[in-house]
C-alpha cells in the first residue's frame, strides 16, 4: 500500500489515534471526571481531524492503489460517522463548483442574524438538512449511471450503520458517549468551518472569495486546510503543497484582511466581541434575498466530467 505523498503518514497516524481513543474508552470506561472529560474531548477533536482527512482524500487520494483507497474510505467513514462518498455531492459538486450561489448548499447566506453567534448556532443544522437531501438525490442518480461510486457508497453506508447498531446493542450508553457524540462534533465542525472561510468575503473577486488562516500551528493540526483560497484554486492539489502554492499564487494578490494569523482570535472577534456580522473589510453585511436551493445536479449542457463522481 504505497502512499502517493509521504506526508500522509500523519493522516494515517491521526486515524489510528482516533480509533485508539475510542477503544481505550470502551474498554477502560474512565470514571474520573477530569480524565474522562479530557479523553472524550480528544476523541471529538480527532474525529473532526478525520473529517478533515476525509475532505482531503476525496480531492487527492492517499494511496496509489484503488483498493487501498476504498478500504481507507470505509475506515474514514467509521471515524467521523458518515460515508466518505457522500462528501462528493455536497462538497465537490455543490460548494466547489458553485461557491456561495444558490447551487451551493453550504452558502453562508442561509443564516441571516445580525449577531454572528446566532448564525453559528443555526448554520450547521440548516446546512446538514440540505446536504442530506442532496445525498439522497445524487445517490439515486448514480445508482445506474455510476455503479462503481454507488457500490462504494453503499458499502460505506452499511458499514457505518452496522457498526453503530452493534455498539448500541453491546452497550448503548458507551455507544452514545464514545461513538455518536464525537461523530456529531465532527459533522458540526466540518460544516461550520465553511462559515469561517467564506462569510463576508467577496465572491466576485478573483482572490477575495475565501478567508485564509495562515498560522503554522492550526495548519499543522488541520493538514494545511487554513489555505482555503488555494484549495479552491486547485482542489486536487495535495494538502502538503498548499502553503507553498498559497505563498506563490494567493498571498501577493488577496486582501491582507483575509489572511488571518490566528483562527482563535478571529473566532473571538467574530462570535464573542464585537460579534457583529460584517464583510471582511469591516462594513455591515448586506445579504442577498432569501432564495431556495437550486439543484446542483449537472444540467444537460454541462459536460459529463462535471459529474465529478469518485470511484476510487
- Residue 105, class by beta-carbon neighbours within 10 Å (0-12 exposed, 13-18 middle, 19+ buried)? buried
Contact 57, 190 (CB under 8 A): no
Q: Using one digit for the tens of pLDDT, what is the confidence trace for 72-123?
A: 999 999 999 999 988 777 777 788 888 898 889 899 999 999 899 999 999 9
**So where are the chain's domains?**
209-285
> Based on the number of CB atoms within 10 Å of its own CB, is 210 exposed (0-12), middle (13-18) or buried (19 or more)?
buried
Residue 205 phi/psi, 5-degree rounding, is -95, 145
pTM, rounded to two decimals = 0.93
> Following CA atoms 238, 241, 242, 245 in sequence, which dihedral angle do they give, to the nearest 10 degrees?
-130
Cα of 24 vs its chain's centroid, Å: 26
Q: How far apart are CA 86 and CA 136, in angstroms?
A: 9
Cell of 95: 460548494
Q: Count of H helices and E strands in the chain?
A: 12, 2
- Residue 298 confidence (pLDDT): 61
* Element housing 260 (H / E): strand 259-260
- Identify the sign of the CA torsion 161, 167, 170, 173: negative
Q: What is residue 125's predicted lDDT score, i.e. its pLDDT? A: 94
**CA 220 – CA 64 distance, rounded (Å):** 24
Mean pLDDT, the chain, integer: 91
Q: Give the SS3 label for residue 276.
A: strand
Q: Please, is 123 exposed, middle or buried when counting C-beta atoms within 10 Å of its C-beta (0-12, 13-18, 19+)?
A: buried
Instruction: Give the CA-trace dihedral at 60, 62, 66, 70, to 10 degrees.
Output: -100
27, 76, 218, 242 from 62: Cα distances, Å:
31, 12, 21, 16
**pLDDT exceeds cutoff 60 at 312:** no
pLDDT digits (tens, 9 = 90+) for 134-182: 888 888 888 887 888 899 999 999 999 999 999 999 999 999 999 999 9
Task: Report whether the peptide linkage leading into residue 274 is cis, meaning its omega lies within 30 degrees of zero.
Answer: yes
Instruction: Provide the pLDDT for residue 299.
Output: 55
C-alpha cell read off for 225: 486546510
Q: Which of 124-133, 169-178, 211-220, 263-272 has the lowest mean pLDDT?
A: 124-133
**Can you tell me the distance from the alpha carbon of 49 to that of 43, in angstroms, rounded to the nearest whole number?**
10
Amino acid at each position: 500500500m504505497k502512499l502517493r505523498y509521504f506526508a500522509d503518514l500523519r493522516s494515517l497516524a491521526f486515524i489510528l489515534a482516533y480509533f485508539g481513543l475510542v477503544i481505550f474508552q470502551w474498554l477502560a470506561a474512565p470514571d474520573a471526571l477530569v480524565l474522562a472529560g479530557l479523553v472524550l474531548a480528544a476523541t471529538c477533536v480527532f474525529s473532526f481531524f478525520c473529517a478533515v482527512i476525509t475532505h482531503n482524500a476525496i480531492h487527492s487520494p492517499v494511496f496509489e492503489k484503488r483498493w487501498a483507497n476504498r478500504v481507507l474510505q470505509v475506515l474514514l467513514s467509521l471515524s467521523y460517522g458518515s460515508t466518505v462518498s457522500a462528501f462528493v455531492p455536497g462538497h465537490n459538486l455543490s460548494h466547489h463548483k458553485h461557491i456561495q450561489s444558490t447551487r451551493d448548499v453550504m452558502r453562508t447566506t442561509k443564516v441571516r442574524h445580525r449577531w454572528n453567534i446566532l448564525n453559528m448556532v443555526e448554520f450547521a443544522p440548516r446546512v446538514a438538512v440540505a446536504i442530506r437531501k442532496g445525498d439522497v438525490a445524487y445517490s439515486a442518480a448514480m445508482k445506474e449511471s455510476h455503479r462503481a461510486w454507488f457500490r462504494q457508497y453503499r458499502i460505506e453506508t452499511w458499514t457505518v450503520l452496522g457498526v453503530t447498531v452493534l455498539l448500541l446493542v453491546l452497550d448503548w450508553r458507551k455507544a452514545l458517549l464514545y461513538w455518536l457524540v464525537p461523530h456529531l462534533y465532527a459533522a458540526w465542525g466540518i460544516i461550520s468551518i465553511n462559515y469561517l472561510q467564506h462569510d463576508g468575503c467577496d465572491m466576485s473577486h478573483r482572490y477575495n472569495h475565501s478567508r485564509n488562516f495562515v498560522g503554522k500551528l492550526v495548519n499543522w493540526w488541520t493538514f494545511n486546510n487554513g489555505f482555503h483560497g488555494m484549495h479552491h484554486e486547485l482542489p486536487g492539489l495535495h494538502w502538503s503543497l498548499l502553503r507553498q502554492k498559497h505563498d506563490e499564487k494567493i498571498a501577493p494578490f488577496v486582501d491582507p484582511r483575509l489572511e488571518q494569523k490566528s483562527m482563535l482570535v478571529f473566532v473571538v472577534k467574530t462570535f464573542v466581541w464585537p460579534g457583529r456580522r460584517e464583510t471582511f473589510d469591516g462594513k455591515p453585511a448586506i445579504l442577498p434575498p432569501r432564495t431556495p436551493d437550486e439543484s446542483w445536479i449537472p444540467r444537460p449542457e454541462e459536460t459529463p466530467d462535471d459529474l465529478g463522481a469518485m470511484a476510487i
